[in-house]
Chains A and B, each alone.
Chain A
């Protein structure tokens, strides 16, 4: 199942932030590979999952110190890459979908032009060619009337449609790896299922890798192939998504037990007791 050469290879990645009150270690020495698969990262707020995603694209602020033994996209060393190399990587080889389309789309540019621009940044084509590609891409994310939607501004589209526009914009340069950071948590459940189906379809049809970052265990277990569980900047365990419910690490088990379900009424939910030993493995 696992491809021999992973798309992305990460060894001993650490991210430290310098803050007025001292050094905060957001990510503390993690290892993982992403192949042409759906890899989920789950964890609570502050677990380091989003920082990990941003570190891959070197999108962290200057106050962050990123170190790693290896942070490689295929043969390319991402840590050593210069600014212009990184500009070629972002969007073209690795792209990223953020949580809320309201804040990630340019409010004063029609959505169609934004998608066409994403293509023209990485491909030398005429404006007309880019427009027709953008229209195709809008159809690919199952927007029924691409020509009408092309000329809409972000405030004129719903949250679900905005997130489909984001997916279109991120996939049009045909990247190998897509990082999706809570792509559906700003959306209603029924809408988020439609958006996930589109993402699922495009990722598998194009044979891309997907790094899916989420706080929602059930969602990740049902959507991804493999799951990394993060806590306190470290990976607690790596599992096949289908066997998330057979997790062995006490943190994962504690999180699962703390989730209310249709059958927990009348009972107290077990509260997670955090064990400092979980973070002691790599001091």
Chain B
């Protein structure tokens, strides 16, 4: 479904992503794990078309895509951002946020689509005319997911979708993502620094460090504590809590 070959991204002198290649099959949930500055978010922004300054080759659904994307691409690929406080326009109601992608793509039945999208993410119509400041963090993230799914994309890119949320709310959002994935046959790429979140939702993951993928593995390899690369093992140890030596 998604194929990336020899991707390079530079910011001035800094090489944010260097020679990254990976494949994500249709229906897969692929995790990208690493610490801040490792290039995982940059990689996601390249895939979504937000960052146009890269070299290499990217294919989505068998078709090569360049730096600039057309409308058809964005109907197929949508993104959910980390911070639901920053990703929703503070002076637009939920209704207006959800109506915008429908208008851009000239779709019919805006009424029905908005109502269904809100039901799908478990919010319901009573939230439709609220402003973001009238919603909790978890509710905002549901709106962001509804906005991404309203175009019925096949691929969803998730950039730390739960790291701004409390654990009890995180559980609700993770359950929602798992349910939507099954119902809509979605292909997901999930960027996270939290190995447990990635292990919960993904079936495969890549560990990134300093702009490169150091290891790609299945979740079973991770679960059995058998990553091969020392850095992956270090991340796994750290995720299990503090060890008093």
Q: Which residues of A contact B (CB under 8 A)?
A: 44-45, 159, 188-193, 196-197, 200, 215, 217-219, 221-223, 254-255, 258-265, 268-272
Contacts and interface: CB of A to CB of B under 8 A. Distances in A.
Given A188-B35, A189-B239, A219-B241, A265 B166 contact: no
B32 to A, nearest CB: 15
B199 A261 contact: yes
A260 B199 contact: yes
Contacts of B197: 260
**Max chain A C-beta neighbours (<10 A), residue from B166, B167, B196, B201:** B167
Contact of B238 (A189, A200, A263, A271): A189
Contact of B174 (A188, A193, A260): A260
A265 B240 CA distance: 17
Contacts, number: 92
A221 B241 contact: yes
A267 to B, nearest CB: 9
A193 B35 CA distance: 13
B199 A262 contact: yes
B134 interface: no
B171 A270 contact: yes
B200 A269 contact: yes
A219 B239 CA distance: 9
Chain B at the A interface: mostly helix, strand, loop or mixed?
helix
Contacts of B245: 197
Contact of A262 (B36, B196, B241): B196
Contacts of A262: 195-196, 199, 222-223
Given A258-B170, A260-B196, A262-B222, 5 more contacts: A44-B167, A189-B239, A219-B241, A269-B171, A271-B175
A200 B105 CA distance: 56
Given A196-B242, A215-B167, A258-B170, A189 B196 contact: no
Contact of B193 (A189, A255, A258, A263): A189
Closest 3 CB pairs of A and B: A222-B241, A260-B200, A188-B35
Contacts of B36: 159, 188
A73 to B, nearest CB: 27
A20 to B, nearest CB: 14
Interface string B52-96: 000000000000000000000000000000000000000000000
